[in-house]
Structure 1
Amino acid sequence: MTVLTQPRLASLRERFAPHFAAIAAGAAERDRSGVLPYEQIAELAAAGFGAVRVPVEYGGAGATLPELFELFVDLAAADSNIAQALRAHFAFVEDRLVAAPSAARDAWLARFVAGQLVGNSWTEVGAVKVGDVITKVTDTPEGLKINGTKYYSTGSIFADWLDTYAEYNGQRVIAAVSRHQEGVELADDWDGFGQRTTGTGTSTFTNADVAEVIDFDTRFKYQTAFYQQVLLAVLAGSAKAAERDFAAELKNRKRTFSHAAANIAGQDPQLLQVIGEVSAAAFAAAATVERVSQSLQGAYESALALQAGQIDAEADEAANDAAELASAQAQVVLTPLVLDALTHAFDALAASATSVSKNLDRHWRNARTAGNHNPWVFKARLIGDLAVNSAPLPRIWAIGASK
């Protein structure tokens, strides 16, 4: 299994560090004001961040999945909103990397290298039954058209293309839709208390042109684990950011209490212990993300080996099952670990830490929101069922209206 190539990772970190630093500098104010990071995401794309996984021979950086997610944790520490906003893009990149070689695949790789981004349009709400999809692609004299409405379209408002889950001739497909056309309307109407600037909103398609239809059943098998891993990186990055920001607040704190353990807050052993515990949680979160990355890399390499006839389907399924299990176990552990650490971080400071102007609560709000995706309580039960009854974990699932 391929692991971190340290010189390449160091080079990539050096390359993107100035961008991440600039992103971090404005993150608190963007969260407070609700200003979307159009400029910051465009600059990342122009710098080649969206193509770090693309092979070098196609113009990308050729990063492994462990390297990608090391960068993702760094980005999430700078601004977890931007990391999550790019979730759909990197999933689509991953799908094209393991797709069968073709001119269409090469065209997508060229788009990524050119700085084009892909957003998400999958979820439907309302009276949609579990497993159903109302958004339809149809044949017309003018070509393929798509009609429907999607919600929680994270990152689409910043993207050039929309990865859209739809139905075409009774089959599940991914419709690749250019967002730069009259038939596509995007709204920033996400009203969650966290991850406010991910550009998560409603996508409406009205006779919009479809550039390409991809059979959903050919999607990369470790996609659910991959999507979950981005959220794990968001959690790890949020913990890392909390360690940074709360440590800085404690260091600069001028006030203390008469019954404190030291005359200077930044030298108080009890308060230093709190920051140390937050730091330890951030370390554990990052280490867990790295372990999941290795499992994902194994699934990626398995997909290529299967294409090349080097392994059989059973071995490939095992690699994908391992990735799914790793991401699920990590989710069950990291969600409460990070949320508890972020709550505990406030114990290092006093009431002033709750100041809206400081906006320290964004770290908890963002982690809590990311942690509410794909509820971990279901994952814990499924992991237990696997351990006790050898019941396989589902790698694809759907959400819809209750009966």
Structure 2
Amino acid sequence: MGNPRERDAPEVTGQEGLRAALDDVMEQRGAWPGRAPWVRAAVAAMPRHDFAPDRLWRWTGRAYVPIDRGSAFEEWTAEVYGSPDAAAVTEIRGGVPSSSLSAQGVVVDMLDALRLESGQRVLELGTGTGWNAALLARRAGSVVSVEVGAGLAAAAAGRLKRAGADVDVRVADGAAGWSAGAPYDRVIATYAVDSVPWAWVEQTRPGGRIVLPWGRLGHVALTVAGDGRSASGWVQGLATFMPARGTDLGRDFQQVREAAPYADERPFTRDLTPLRDDWHLRFALRVAVSDVQITTAEDEDGLNAWLHDGSTSWAMLAAVGDGTTVAYQGGPRRLADEVERGWDGWLTEGRPELYDYGLTVTSDQQYAWCRDAETGPRWPGV
């Protein structure tokens, strides 16, 4: 990875060279948080490669293949330090990733959003490799990290000890938090949830902050109300994290299409380009039709999209080569229609950015909102 300022810069190789190149890319992007300089210092003190297992996994376009430190060190290092946006897959189950060393850019962004003060008590949900916990330990007064996988927890605890990071690693289901150490000043999750466990709010002091990846797209920072009866806050940025272990991911598009009969077709008159390129629209649809997964790809006929709900319904927005698109739909729902309604709602609201959205959680409900938690439009149950 070369310096983006030097078009003809030589290729960077070696662990320290790749590490420095990643640091430089983040510098050029302005991705190092100015209000939290401790984060960059922590990343420098706790290198990613010290927390990566000996075997990583690379996607070839067809399957995940192993990359071993011992036999392919340069390739292994490139997986660790490839890009601010790339996670290094550390575990495969059933042919799909189940754990990773999260992308450095996203880790840094979420630590910035945590607003961690020196000496505060932190609960981390999802120890993983231990790297995020090690970064937290450079700033916090105490860190409790919960990991549901006993093997992952033991390996992470060993890495943390070797790195000199004081972290209390516990084997437990993160959905229940860790009440023995409550209340915490800050809570941070390293895996995605659609519904925020109320235990996380209960175990955070009033005024405390909770940062988590929310569903398939985006991470949020919630502040616990003074009476402890709710937590609310804004979307902070884009993030794609693995879900909690054991989460039912549902069927993929092909499985849903095979199970749900074809129902109808109609012209789809709007340009699909924003559906592919506009992440503010993508996030708005994530809120408006929260269970619908959207994939786009271009072929010789034009831009296409595949929609499914992981269960019973599907739609295919297919370019037919003459500048038009046809919506084919199957199952009891009409997903193309639902996406269009969500798209229209976003346009009616004036194309809000993803940062205009927020989330509120109480003991018995959760809802998203736009622009204002009290008076803005709401989407309950997302």
Fold shared, TM-score > 0.5 on shorter chain: no
Q: More relative contact order in 1 or in 2 (CA 8 Å, sep 6+)?
A: 1
Q: Which has the higher strand share?
A: 2
> Structure 2 length as normaliser, TM-score?
0.27
